[in-house]
Amino acid sequence: MILHLFTWEEQLAVFQNAIRLLKPEKGVLIIGQASGSLEAGTTGRGHDPKRQTYRHNVESFERLVKKVGDLTETDWNVKAELDTGLSIYDGKRTWDDPKTRRLLFEIEKI
């Protein structure tokens, strides 16, 4: 639930570190959710617009997992979707915009 707090490069590092903590066997799962967007890309973070973060749509998230798989020499099956759960874009957060969505994901090692 923290992926959206990082830049693309930081997300690569976070996922690589997470994979090192997992058992090296097929069927291992990573599940989670993060703030996503209908349009993937870099955005300012909350109260500090100078601090950039990267929000994904399904396609960009799949690219991220593919890149991490290449870097760690692992293969992953990705299931991801965007929805409007958890009051996404209710106007209460400074970083919300009309394209904000919740990214739900499940990544299984194959």
> Mean pLDDT across the stretch 14-30?
95
Domain boundaries, the chain: 3-109
pLDDT digit string, tens, across residues 23-71: 999 999 999 999 899 999 988 765 566 778 899 999 999 999 999 999 9
E strands, the chain, where?
29-37, 41-45, 48-55, 76-83, 100-109
User: What are the CA-CA distances from residue 101 to residues 60, 65, 81 (Å)?
Assistant: 14, 19, 9
